[in-house]
Amino acid sequence: MSTTAQELERPQQQSDVGAWLRQNLFNGVLNTLITIVLVIFIPIVLFLIVRWAIFEATWQPVATNFRLLMTGRYPIEHVWRIQACMAIIYLLFGLSAGIWQGMVRTIGIGLVGFAIFFALFPFSVSARLWLVGSVVAALVGYFVGRPFSSKLRIPVIVLWLISPFIFWLLIRGGMLGLPLVTTNLWGGLLLTIILAVVGIIASFPIGVLLALGRQSKLPIIKWCCTLYIELVRGVPLISVLFMAVLMLPLFLPSNIRIDNLVRVLVAITGFSAAYLAENVRGGLQSVPRGQYEAASALGLNVFQTTFLIVLPQALRAVIPALVGQFISLFKDTSLVSIVGLAELLGIAGIVINQPEWLQVTGGVEREVLLFAALVYWFFCYTLSKISRRIEAHLGVGTR
């Protein structure tokens, strides 16, 4: 049969372009048809998109409102504080990349790529300088971190640990001579990132406790945790946000006023904790029984077993799932625009409705929304790639 003959010959032809084409694009009538259709279809669509993006689209609203999109109504005279935060992050990533290489370097390269990519846009000079400055900070960090990796290890870890407090101080102010910038002025990508990061950090301990509670042998605790997890997972986030914004103030004494941002954070944390608990539970179940038995044979009690033996293994197994959780939280922050916080999507809505762009034929919705989508996409895609790498990395370790 001729086909078997071809099959046998194939290994020798592998380097051949023609063979590759035959194998990947023209192996069979159906595939050939699909290939022909796609070869005609894809370039046309790409051409239309590129032509639109370069010649027809009005990117002006994105460029002039870049600051608004990134930081919301944060006072312009204080924007340097956010820029400082970003520079610190880049510097820390640069240092860490220099010290640890590997994974961290990949993330760092992603961040630098992000800054360079946006620096290419025709934004205001100061915005582009800020982006370039951050890249420089990262590079400086990298080339400082590499030679002194052993000495800088501990200081950099300490810096990472205290960095959230530094960022909070810088962004909010109200201390050390920095004027207070109230949370209603926070917005744009800044708010998106704050919501996602604070949400995931705050929901982590709660999620772990809920997961442990659900696995508990004590029936009341088990049922309460299960009830909470299932209740929260059964309703949409937007309804939880709505409830937090409308009802949380009713549940507290009227002399306690809580900031809208805090309310939303409470909702996001409570919501994300339930999902996180399910991920952690998966991890807990993956820890073999032998581990429990070995621990109790060594005379460890329940708490020692849980916190020293089981949880470390369980959490290690669920790191990719946790990153996935963070990605979905990052995307879900776009819902807070419905309850009146102006994060990236909320600001995009404001920009679209600015009177300056009314006369633009076809409106500017596509441009502004595409920009917002691109920013979200960039973050989520990078994170999902990182998650996959961690997964592969951990997989090697366990085998």
Partner 1 sequence: MKVNRFLGFVSVLLLAAFVAACSNQAATNEPSSPVEAAPTDAPAIGAPVAAATEAPAPAPTAAPQATTAPAAPTASGGSTLQTIKDRGELICGSNDQVPGFGSVDASGQTVGFDIDFCRALAAAIFGDPNKVTFRPLTAQERFTAVQSGEVDVLIRNTTNTLTRETVNGMDFAPTNFFDGQGIMVRKSDNLNTISDLDGATICVQSGTTTELNLADAFRAVGASFTPAVFEDANGTFSAYDAGQCDAVTTDKSGLASRRLSLSSPEDHVIMDVTLSKEPLAPAVLQGDAQWRDIVTWVIYGLFNAEEYGVTQANVQEQLSSDDPNIRRLLGVEGELGAGLGLDNDFMVKVISAVGNYGEIYDRHLGPNTPINIPRGPNAQYTDGGLIYGMPFR
Partner 2 sequence: MAQLDNKLQPSKAIPFYRNVKVLALVAQIAFLLILGLLFWWLIGNMLSSLRRSNIPLSFDFLPQTAGFEIAESSIRYSATDSYGRAFLVGILNTLRIAVLGIILSTIFGIIIGIGRLSSNWLLRNLAGAYVELFRNTPLAVQLIFWFVAVILKLPRVRDAIAIDGIFALSNRGLTLAWPVAGESYAAWSIWFWVGLVVGVIAYVLRRQQLQRLDRPLVAWPVAWLAVLATWLVSWLGVWLFTGSSPLVIDQPHLSGFNYIGGVSITAAFFALLLGLTCYTAAFIAEIVRAGILAVSKGQREAAQALGFTPFQTMRLIIFPQALRVIIPPLTNQYLNLTKNSSLGILVSFPDLFFVTTTINNQSGRAVQVILIMMACYLAMSLLISLFANIYNSRMRLKER
Interface positions with partner 1 (CB under 8 A): 68, 73, 75-76, 182, 184, 245-246, 249-250, 253-255, 257, 260, 301-304, 338-340, 349-350, 352-356, 358-359, 363
> For partner 2, which stretch binds (CB under 8 A), given 70-78, 171-179, 235-243, 312-320?
235-243
Interface residue with partner 2, options 380, 390, 391, 394 (CB under 8 A): 380
Half-sphere exposure of 155 (CA within 13 A, CB side): 9
What dihedral do alpha carbons 260, 344, 185, 123 form, nearest 10°?
180
Q: In this complex, which beta carbon is closest to partner 1, that of residue 15 or of residue 301? A: 301
Interface residue with partner 2, options 92, 276, 345, 386 (CB under 8 A): 345
Interface residue with partner 2, options 362, 388, 392, 393 (CB under 8 A): 362
What dihedral do alpha carbons 41, 45, 46, 49 form, nearest 10°?
180
Q: Does 4 bind partner 2 (CB under 8 A)?
A: no
In this structure, the number of other CB atoms found within 10 A of the CB of residue 396 comes to 8
CA 127 – CA 232 distance, rounded (Å) = 41
List the beta bridge partners of residue 343: 188
Cβ–Cβ under 8 Å, residues 65 and 372: no
Least distance (Å) from partner 1 to the CB of residue 244? 11
Q: Which does 73 bind (CB under 5 to 8 A by kind): partner 1, partner 2, none?
A: partner 1
Q: Which does 221 bind (CB under 5 to 8 A by kind): partner 1, partner 2, none?
A: partner 2
Q: Does 126 bind partner 2 (CB under 8 A)?
A: no
Phi, psi of 72, rounded to the nearest 5 degrees: 70, -145
Place of tokens 């200081």: 155
Cβ–Cβ under 8 Å, residues 99 and 377: no
Q: What distance, in Å, lies between the first and last C-alpha atoms of the chain?
A: 43
Q: In this complex, which beta carbon is closest to partner 2, that of residue 5 or of residue 250? A: 250
Q: In this complex, which beta carbon is closest to partner 1, that of residue 230 or of residue 356? A: 356
Q: Does 300 bind partner 2 (CB under 8 A)?
A: no
CA 38 – CA 202 distance, rounded (Å) = 47
Q: Which does 31 bind (CB under 5 to 8 A by kind): partner 2, partner 1, none?
A: partner 2
What are the C-alpha distances in Å from 42 to residues 5, 29, 56, 103, 158?
A: 34, 20, 20, 34, 50
Q: Which does 168 bind (CB under 5 to 8 A by kind): partner 2, partner 1, none?
A: none
Interface residue with partner 2, options 147, 155, 236, 312 (CB under 8 A): 236
Least distance (Å) from partner 1 to the CB of residue 220? 13
**Does residue 289 sit in helix, strand or coil?**
helix
List the beta bridge partners of residue 188: 343
Q: What is the DSSP letter of 287?
A: S
**Does residue 186 sit in helix, strand or coil?**
coil
Q: In this complex, which beta carbon is closest to partner 1, that of residue 185 or of residue 394? A: 185
Q: In this complex, which beta carbon is closest to partner 1, that of residue 99 or of residue 190? A: 190
Q: Does 331 bind partner 2 (CB under 8 A)?
A: yes
Query: Burial level of 8, CB count in 10 A (0-12/13-18/19+)?
Result: exposed
Contacts of 23 (CB under 8 A, 6+ apart): 10
Q: Does 258 bind partner 2 (CB under 8 A)?
A: no
Q: Which does 206 bind (CB under 5 to 8 A by kind): partner 1, partner 2, none?
A: none
Q: Does 18 bind partner 2 (CB under 8 A)?
A: no
Q: In this complex, which beta carbon is closest to partner 1, that of residue 89 or of residue 350? A: 350
Q: Does 373 bind partner 2 (CB under 8 A)?
A: yes
Checking 171-180 for CB contacts under 8 A at 24+ apart, the result is 171/81, 171/82, 171/85, 173/78, 173/81, 178/81, 179/78
Least distance (Å) from partner 1 to the CB of residue 212? 13
Interface residue with partner 2, options 169, 185, 221, 394 (CB under 8 A): 221
Interface contacts to partner 2, rule CB under 8 A: 23-25, 27, 31, 34-35, 38-39, 42, 217-221, 224, 231, 233-239, 242-243, 246-247, 249-254, 327, 331-335, 337-338, 345, 348-349, 352, 362-363, 365-366, 369-370, 372-373, 376-377, 380-381, 384
